[in-house]
Chains A and B, each alone.
Chain A
């Protein structure tokens, strides 16, 4: 760190109606510094970054960039001051090509006589991917249909294309697989070497301690502590975040695979064109079967294929207790399967509908009355039950999903399945974008499901998560299963990474 303060925030306040999102926040960011922002879901981290990035205007307080007063009225204005941000939920525009998305809002710089030179634009976009050593997507292809990870890389290239002095990263790493995380870490180090600054939000405390110089902890919108990353511990951060000692283990403490002999799901020779090849495995009652792999390994296609959302070219997905081959999602649902996809907002939840409708959706068949009608009182009762059981922080079940924080959305997403009588639950990155408290909650629920003899397929980009929870782990590469490791074997990060690479 050179020591020169590049961004200073003094007494920043922000309200959203009755919610006090940021209370008198003070922060000093220096050149060459990587600052972590951590706190529970709803603690005001994203709100703070959004104000720095010009998305929201503070109610009061002051910001200074390089000693000059700074009050951005838009993200473009923030860009002009050398600040750019990759947002947690922003995304890309699906009906425009990847290259255009990198310069969206600034395509005018490639216009000659009113016509945008797409070749020049794509060349400039490619140069950004090359400059920052990011994996390049097909630039002429529409982003609609691209993986979350690819879309995140496009957003990253977009943020970097303004050559920022301050880069704000809100929950970026959790969308990335291990190999691309390494690229992001290298990028952060490079920023540091260039004497620029990075502010990172991540719910992975270990990762935060590893990649940052300093960590600011927020609770209920207030800064409750600032520590040097090299001098702090995981427990200290957790305690600062929640305001009390966090007890108990996140993950399983045992190292023995414990599940019954009863096979719940049998997948045989399953192939999905360009995604999966000759996949065979079994999942037992009470077992947590983990899947891990690098990007494009095909792990996320497993969940879709098993739940009947893909069209396999060959192979079978057989639900043993009901003796049924699964070919479609409704069939999967009727055969006691549940599926929590990775892309929560686009694939799992009806984001503009209320909590009640989202909560009851997988259970409407069971909730139907004799005449086939749904009684509103019954639906509300079930939704209320989920809200209470899973401690969803909300004003009521009539609140729309998009008003909830990521963690609370995930509670609804997961809770609605656990409220059902399931034999198999497929979880694809269930803790993506949730805080330490919700994570612990989700792991506890997984343990509870295991106890209830529910078979679980856990697909995750977080290696520690699958190692911490799974009875068996299937490592994938290029759409194939390359290795099976049991919990009582060489169940370590090193051995798994070796297989993944």
Chain B
């Protein structure tokens, strides 16, 4: 029988199931604390469902980031893609009803992210530079397509109320659950998922082991495209309209999903990152919701709390997990 090799990481103090238990308990305590501090408002059913409905579309964007970052690329144009995809979802939705809502968002999201990856793969330009350039292009296109001239801001016309079904409960939650299962298997249990992660882990090794780098990158474009496409129509269905200005302001759209991804990344050593994403989205929007309830002004002060929370979360999540290379 072969002897086994142990590493220091194996011997870490807290077992995963203990961490999960503690994690769930900590969330429960925080939610109860929010409830008490908000005068019994926070855990009211209508409030909780509101938070749940809000987690859907940022979760899809954060899952898109999982694939993007796993292969070692960054795409700063995703905000611009979401704006254009949401426009398409809105326009086609108002023309063709629910199928138009879905098709509009999916088609534009998929197409643009796939185009992005074609550019990243074949141009050789660093993806973050190409991404910023593409974000400017997409914002400019959105500006040209603007429907309302009421303000300097670009405000699209609203999606008709009867077609906003997918942004509401239980449908958005159902889509989130289906997305969770599909993305979990795609990321963790498919050859393409493993190849994508191999590419980000060590491109040279991946290439030498016969992984087709260009093909894998295009798969990333396709998968992320579908996920961003879902985010587009879910966003439009949830909010009913999309607002953006030029000057790279579309990047604002990706900040919250990015925060979700970062939170998920912190605890991925304990819980699979795909599962972490909706959990972290719920935590994040619970915090925003609570801060709003207790009268903390949105914008600067809320962002201060968000930043502080991510740092605190990172410190706690990284404790006792150590990668030792000997």
> Is B190 positioned at the interface, with any CB of A under 8 Å from its CB?
yes
Contact partner, B206, options A93, A114, A133, A275, Cβ 8 Å: A93
- Where the two chains meet, the residues of B that have a C-beta atom closer than 8 Å to any C-beta of A are 1-11, 70, 185, 188-191, 194-195, 197-198, 200-202, 204-206, 208-211, 322-326
Minimum CB–CB distance from A151 to chain B (whole Å) comes to 9
- A105 on the B face (CB < 8 A): yes
* Min C-beta distance of B219 to chain A, whole Å: 12
Q: How far is the CB of B277 from chain A (nearest CB, A)?
A: 17
Q: How large is the interface on A (under 10, 10 to 19, 20 to 34, 35 or more residues)?
A: 35 or more
- Contact of A141 with B1 at beta-carbon distance under 8 Å, contacts A75-B210, A96-B197, A96-B201 already known: no
Q: Which of A74, A75, A93, A148 meets B325, CB within 8 Å?
A: A148
Taking the closest CB of chain A, its distance from the CB of B197, in whole angstroms, is 6
User: Which residue on A lies nearest to B9, using beta carbons?
Assistant: A145
Which residues of the partner chain B approach A275 to less than 8 Å between Cβ atoms?
Answer: 8, 324
A153 within 8 A of B: yes
Measured in the bound complex, the distance between the Cα atoms of B10 and A87 in whole Å is: 27
Beyond A138-B4, A145-B9, A275-B8, is A96–B190 a contact (Cβ under 8 Å)? no
The 0/1 profile, CB within 8 Å of B marked 1, for residues 140-174 of chain A is 01001111111001000010000000000000000
Q: Is A1 an interface residue (CB 8 A)?
A: no
B-binding segment of A295-303, A355-363, A434-442: A295-303
Q: How far is the CA of A182 from the CA of B3 in the complex (A)?
A: 13
- Which of B6, B188, B197: most chain A CB closer than 10 A? B6
Residues in A whose Cβ lies below 8 Å from that of B209: 75-76, 104-105, 158
Across the interface, do B191 and A107 meet the contact criterion of CB distance under 8 Å? yes
Contact mask for chain A residues 315-346; partner B; CB cutoff 8 A; 1 contact, 0 none: 00000000000000000000000000011001
Contact, CB under 8 Å: B323 / A145: yes
B180 CB to closest chain A CB (Å) equals: 15
9 A-B pairs within 8 Å (CB atoms) are namely A75-B210, A93-B202, A105-B195, A108-B191, A111-B190, A114-B190, A116-B189, A117-B189, A296-B6
Instruction: Given A93-B202, A141-B7, A147-B326, check contact A136 B190 (CB 8 Å).
Output: no
Q: How far is the CB of B217 from chain A (nearest CB, A)?
A: 16
Give the docked Cα–Cα distance between A140 and B198 (Å). Answer: 15
Given contacts A104-B206, A346-B325, contact A137 B190 (CB under 8 A): no
Q: Which of B4, B5, B198 has the most CB of A within 10 A?
A: B5
State the CA gap A346–B202 with chains docked (Å).
12
Contact B201 A94 (CB under 8 A): yes
A117 to B191 alpha-carbon distance, docked (Å): 10
In the assembled complex, the Cα of A95 lies from the Cα of B202 at a distance in Å of: 9
Query: Pick the contact of B322 from A96, A133, A145 — CB < 8 Å?
Result: A145
Determine the chain A residues whose CB is within 8 A of the CB of B4 once the complex forms: 135-138
Residue A25 interfacial (CB < 8 Å)? no
| Nearest CB in chain B to that of A55: its residue | B208
Contact A153 B189 (CB under 8 A): no
**CB-based contact A96/B3 at 8 Å:** no
